[in-house]
Amino acid sequence: MLIKRICAGLAVAAFWLLTLCYLPGMVIFVVLMAMSVLCQREFYGMMKQRGFEVEDHLGVAAGLIWLAITFIYPPNLLAQMKWGGELGTLVIALFVFLTLIRTMFNPKVKNPIERVGITLLGFFYLPFMLSYFIRVAQWDAVSICEIPQCRTGIFLAAFVAIVVKIGDVGAFGIGTAFGKHKMCPKISPKKSWEGLAGGLLSSVAAALITAMLARKFDFIPGGPLESVALLTVAGLGLMLGITGVLGDLFESMFKRSAAIKDSAGLLPGMGGILDMFDSLMFTPAVMYWFLIWADKS
């Protein structure tokens, strides 16, 4: 089981990094949309398996529309549009309204609050949060559907994945070897405080090493990471590590609620796509708002 988990993890990590580093912007967008759909369907599937009601088709469609709009209109372009700042609010308002309408006029619905709540949760938890990967990848973009050729944003998105996943590896290794004090036994019995410490130290080390490599080698487009202090980079690594752990625990909480071990059985020893990307759900948002802060400082 351990070997399968390591092999599956390495394969997915290599695929994700190669995707970010070498594929054209449109292909990266399509891959992210595919990952989002798979994660969202796994989440809705978990809830339905438990007997909860959900508007899964509407939720997935809304997620695809949200990701498409995010890709079409980079943040810098939206800021220049007359109604750009209200576009996201309009899309979300329409999605909530349509979910309520479909639920109200569906005679088979037994628990409308449950159906609406889980549908909206699946949207905000997955495609809405994953859309921050697009925003990071489009850092400095100024035109429609643009991922800048300098690929600074791509490096920053890869930086998030590297820091978080190395933190996962560190937590797993240290926790397996030295973990004695359980962190959240009711949600994730195998996680320990020792593993948490190892994971956070690994994330900070990964952030510092990656930032220093970007400063040393011109072919690595470090962008804002090249100008902020290394102490600030260490703080960013710590924030990404903590957020990654929380993302993992959030999914464990949902799986406990659904009384299942894995979100799916696609990856040997790892479970589903959602099990692989759970720690990355909220971290791109942390990175994006860090970049906003660094840009204005």
pLDDT tens string 61-84: 999 999 999 999 988 887 777 776
Categorize the per-residue pLDDT at 11 as very low, low, confident or very high, splitting at 50, 70 and 90: low
Categorize the per-residue pLDDT at 287 as very low, low, confident or very high, splitting at 50, 70 and 90: very high
What is residue 152's predicted lDDT score, i.e. its pLDDT? 85
CA torsion, points 293, 170, 245, 283, in degrees to nearest 10? 30
Give the predicted TM-score (pTM) of the model: 0.88
What is residue 75's predicted lDDT score, i.e. its pLDDT? 84
DSSP 223: G
What is residue 197's predicted lDDT score, i.e. its pLDDT? 95
- Range with lowest mean pLDDT among 145-149, 160-164, 206-210: 145-149
- 108-144 burial, b at 16+ Cβ within 10 Å, e below that, comes to eeeeeebbbebbbbbbebbbbbbbbbbbbbbbbbeee
CA torsion, points 220, 226, 230, 235, in degrees to nearest 10? -90
Residue 286 confidence (pLDDT) above 60: yes
Mean pLDDT score of the chain: 86
For residue 271, is it left (φ>0), alpha (ψ between -120 and 50) or beta?
left
Residue 267 confidence (pLDDT) above 60: no
